[in-house]
Structure 1
Amino acid sequence: MELPKLFLTIFFLQAIFISHTLIQAAPSNSDLFREYIGAEFNNVKFSDVPINPNVEFHFILSFAIDYDASGSSPTNGKFNIFWDSNNLSPSQVSSIKGKRSNVKVAVSLGGDSVGGGYAYFTPSSVDSWVSNAVSSLTSIIKEYNLDGIDIDYEHFKGDPNTFAECIGRLIKTLKNNGAISFASIAPFDDDQVQSHYLALWKSYGDLIDYVNFQFYAYDKGTSVTQFLDYFDTQSSNYNGGKVLASFISDGSGGLSPENGFFTACSKLKSQKKLNGIFIWSADDSKANGFRYEKQSQSLLAIPH
């Protein structure tokens, strides 16, 4: 007589587990807005950018790079500041965070170029790079009162596994030390780039909070349908990750606001797949009065 009870108990526990898994996996929208700032030295300030009080807002300082101050030689994980630190200083970080409780500030690592050439990920060894990176970035994070890091290396002199170990261990150590509360990656659709970031995702994806996928690296003139296809493809590549929708504010690539970016985002929102929006960059948006920043945040702030 005990056997059916046992089966019933197992069945009941399985049912609870399955329903819990479904609840956990259910897609949902986010009110997260992120914007890169400071790479182009055109005097843009945090206070220039409109901030909707009803979104979670992340500024991402661009960039800290492990090159010497002249930008000519790699330094094996010893990071220096290459953003417009005159206008985006520690006191200005404190000021904007003090005035706006919904604002966090992160720093992006790497970027496309430095000192007139490409910024390469060039570790001497995993252990030495991680040690130097943890030390130098902890110093910058403390000085600037930062909340997170973003990984935006785009050129590599290390193989995918080395990249995965260096970046994965860096994120893990900074999180374990309480130096940061979130981390993101910023890949785009290029074979070499994807091979490195997907290796990182496979080994350390559970430590990565957001995927700032550079959808603007696709061809200029991307259609709404193409964008939605690209979004599904990259959501599958970074399975389980919060892939954000994105555009470039100078209109040089991808799906632009004029051509239907917000139509695509509304569609994602209706499917409960809009994990947030990010823009490259505040420096370029300054010229158009940040009109698309306002529009992005308005869309995100609509209750979901």
Structure 2
Amino acid sequence: MRNSSTPPLLRLEDICVKFGFVEALKSVNLSIQRQEVVAIVGDNGAGKSTLIKVIAGFLQPGFGHIYLNGEQVTIPSIREADRMGIASVFQGQEFCDNLDVASNLFLGKEINQIGIRDDDSMNSRARSVLKTLSSAIRVGSPIASLSVGQRQTVAIARTLLNDPQLILLDEPTAALSVMQSAEVLAYIKRLRSEGRSVVMVCHDLPDVFAVSDRIVVIRQGHVTGVHRTVETSYEEIIAEIAGVTTEHEYEEIAENPKFDSMVRQRKLIDRTISAAVSHGTGHDSPLD
């Protein structure tokens, strides 16, 4: 149970963002607590990625205030966000395919001793970070040899180098197989168990329901709903995303056969996450 006197990890107050005459975010208010996973969902163009980019320091709000650990802050850049304990993984993370895993983890943040790159320290730190995620990825493996899911794991591992409080993930399971998605979702749960908070933009509701503590629905730049995941349903979330206002429209959504498919997919994800966790914690493969 959280101490009511402790301020949230992050609080957004009346955040507004405009692109020309288009209002991408309209007076958004949102709090992120410590040690929780918050999923942001909504239709294309709803403002999900804009919101996460504001928190990441990639975009500056035209109006509003941001509070981190109860103190008002400005997040002028991704680099400054990283220094403040906010790390982010956006879609299309770029890697240098001619370098190994450890070199990609430390790209632009190389450890040097007396002006000489310290590969031993970087390899040791890389092993430690990957072990946190229960990953069997070898730090000396060429990044080009990794699967899409493994590259996503490396992208998440890279965020952990500065021991962040808050990790932002933009569509972390997009284009992944069921097993690869389950591994990433298992890593997200692991991050929460370590005391970190995660905010993820995700369009796949079974993934959202499998790992999140709360679901935030954004529609046309507004936060239209914030739900505890265990207290809501696919029907309610999709109705809010679609802007359903009548009982008849809601019944049509609830009767859609794709919900049976979602339920089956969720059960498969839960089983696969359990298998991924068991595999990750039980292997004895070296990481170098």
| TM-score (ref. length: structure 1) | 0.31
| TM-score (ref. length: structure 2) | 0.33
Tell which has more relative contact order, 1 or 2 (C-alpha 8 A, sep 6+). 2
